[in-house]
Amino acid sequence: MFIIRPYRQRLMLLLKELRETQDADVSYQALSPYGETLSSEIKGCHSAFPQPPSVLCPLTPVRWTFTFSAKERDLETGLSYFGARYYSSDLSIWLSVDPKASKYPSLSPYVYCANNPIKLVDPNGMEYGNPIEDALKVISDFEHSTTTSVFRNIPKSKFIEDLTQHINDPASIQQGGNGTCGAAVLSKYMAENHPVLYAEEAISLYTTGKFSHNGVSLSLPNSAFSGSMTELNELGINSVDAIMQGAFTNSQNIVFNYNPFKDGSGFKSFMYPGYFNYYVSGFLGANYHCVLSPTTEYINSLDFVNHFVVGIVHSNDYSIEGGFPNHYIQILKSGNNKMDYWTWGEKVNGSTINNSLRNGFYMIISIGL
């Protein structure tokens, strides 16, 4: 027996309109703030009500596995594993006590995100919070500290201004005149999905020139520490762009150092796919899936809501063309032979997909959120 709530009735009307106005089949899954499945459809297999997690659409081999909070849902039990414990979206509770329950004595150790899932998130099952607010607090604490910087020509006030802008608006991240497109996309992913880690890394690099996480170390060469605001203005990037992207790029170069203030674009600045995936899985601990030479149909089928989708393409300025891969972009939406994507620090809307020469795409990397 199902209880039809007013918001669910409105949702059904919206989804009905969506199906009627789309030219192609649409796959979607609508969730409540607590993760309960309200409605789902996989390529024409429509269900107005949530189905058991093990139900498989007879027309497709697709199942909803990584859904709520991008955590893997067990297809037999319907439980989502967050790392520290399991969560039931149907019951909206954890199945075991919060390992850090002593920090929240006024709350039940079984409630999800202090019963405020719209504002708060819990990435690992034992500590909830607002990632953006937490990242801004990290910046504020640094602002009021007396810590010095190895970048002697970049004022602390300017660095804080630039870092705050990235946290509040990750799309403002720029590649500029450097060829650090892979590092720029990686930085955008971090600022959007791991803002606290992004702030901590940027501050550590600014103050010491190095940072380590999950056993992966990043650093900048000593030659970068004399970088100036004049050089940044000439490149069209800010201080955090140079420091973050420079560290990712420099750390992949085994023989040569990379100075983001001087070395510009070239073979030292391009991030090779193996290193990009290494940073995603090893440094960030995120799940990802790679597909070589993706078809247009595959690109259109991707879940852009629950995944950060990266494309390695051949780019001529802002357009994608067939040819040798030389650029990273973030794909925001794709369908009806049109695509929206983020590149060079800007959003490109409604670009026509080239259906020859692998659509201009060499590889798709889909990262779970």
Per-residue pLDDT tens over the stretch 316-353: 776 777 778 889 999 999 988 889 999 988 899 888 77
**Residues 108 and 180 occupy one common structural domain:** no
Higher-confidence position of 199 and 62: 199
C-alpha span between 26 and 61 (Å, rounded): 15
Q: What is the mean pLDDT of residues 143-160?
A: 96
| Residue 328 structure tokens | 């990273």
- CB burial class (10 A; 0-12, 13-18, 19+) of residue 230? exposed
C-alpha span between 343 and 211 (Å, rounded): 26
pTM of the predicted structure, to 2 decimals: 0.75
Q: What is the mean pLDDT of residues 283-296?
A: 90
**Residues 12 and 76 occupy one common structural domain:** yes
**Residues 155 and 271 occupy one common structural domain:** yes
pLDDT category at 176 given cuts 50, 70, 90 is confident
Cα separation values, 290 from 49, 60, 280, 281, 283, Å: 32, 21, 12, 12, 17
**Would you give the distance in Å from CA 52 to the centre of its chain?**
29
Q: Which of 137, 132, 87 is nearest to 112 (CA)?
A: 87
Cα separation values, 71 from 55, 94, 287, 296, 337, Å: 18, 14, 10, 27, 30
pLDDT category at 170 given cuts 50, 70, 90 is very high
C-alpha span between 33 and 50 (Å, rounded): 15
pLDDT category at 123 given cuts 50, 70, 90 is confident
Whose structure tokens read 């329950």? 101
Q: Is residue 1 included in any domain, yes or no? A: no
Q: End of a domain among 282, 316, 351?
A: 282
pLDDT category at 67 given cuts 50, 70, 90 is low
Q: End of a domain among 59, 86, 115?
A: 115
Q: Is residue 122 included in any domain, yes or no? A: no
* pLDDT computed for residue 356 by the predictor: 55
Query: Are the beta carbons of 178 and 260 closer than 8 angstroms?
Result: yes
Q: Is residue 104 included in any domain, yes or no? A: yes
Task: Check whether 287 has a pLDDT greater than 60.
Answer: yes
* pLDDT computed for residue 60 by the predictor: 40
**Residues 185 and 169 occupy one common structural domain:** yes
Reported as a single tens digit per residue, the pLDDT across 71-105 is 777 878 888 888 789 998 888 899 999 888 888 88
Q: Which of 186, 309, 304, 310 is nearest to 248 (CA)?
A: 186
3-state secondary structure at position 87 = strand
Higher-confidence position of 292 and 70: 292
**Residues 98 and 194 occupy one common structural domain:** no
* pLDDT computed for residue 137 by the predictor: 95
High-pLDDT (> 90) share of the chain, %: 44
* pLDDT computed for residue 253 by the predictor: 84
| Residue 111 structure tokens | 């409630």
Task: Check whether 59 has a pLDDT greater than 90.
Answer: no
Q: DSSP for 99-134? A: TTGGG-TTS-TTBSGGG-TTT-B-SSSS--B-HHHH
Partners of 339 in the beta sheet? 334, 351
Q: Is residue 123 included in any domain, yes or no? A: no
**Residues 203 and 273 occupy one common structural domain:** yes
**Residues 264 and 300 occupy one common structural domain:** no
Rg (CA), the chain: 22
Q: Which of 330, 364, 327, 363 is nearest to 348 (CA)?
A: 330
Angle between helix 131-143 and helix 195-208 axes, rounded to 10 deg: 20
Q: Is residue 337 included in any domain, yes or no? A: yes
Q: Is residue 48 included in any domain, yes or no? A: yes
Q: End of a domain among 239, 267, 282?
A: 282
C-alpha span between 47 and 39 (Å, rounded): 6
* pLDDT computed for residue 138 by the predictor: 96
Q: Is residue 259 included in any domain, yes or no? A: yes
**Residues 32 and 57 occupy one common structural domain:** yes
C-alpha span between 330 and 335 (Å, rounded): 15
Reported as a single tens digit per residue, the pLDDT across 346-363 is 899 888 776 655 568 889
What's the structural domain count of the chain? 3
Reported as a single tens digit per residue, the pLDDT across 128-145 is 778 899 999 999 999 999
Q: Is residue 120 included in any domain, yes or no? A: no
* pLDDT computed for residue 49 by the predictor: 40
* pLDDT computed for residue 58 by the predictor: 39
C-alpha span between 173 and 158 (Å, rounded): 15
Average pLDDT score over the chain: 83
Q: What is the mean pLDDT of residues 37-54?
A: 52
**Residues 142 and 251 occupy one common structural domain:** yes
Q: What is the mean pLDDT of residues 263-278?
A: 88
* pLDDT computed for residue 16 by the predictor: 58
**Residues 78 and 147 occupy one common structural domain:** no
Reported as a single tens digit per residue, the pLDDT across 190-218 is 999 999 999 999 999 999 999 999 999 99
What single-letter DSSP state applies at residue 280?
A: I
C-alpha span between 104 and 82 (Å, rounded): 19
Residues spanned by the domain of 89: 6-115
Alpha carbons within 13 A on the beta-carbon side of 20: 6
Higher-confidence position of 105 and 159: 159
Task: Check whether 46 has a pLDDT greater than 80.
Answer: no
**Residues 169 and 309 occupy one common structural domain:** no
**Residues 56 and 78 occupy one common structural domain:** yes
Query: Are the beta carbons of 65 and 7 closer than 8 angstroms?
Result: no
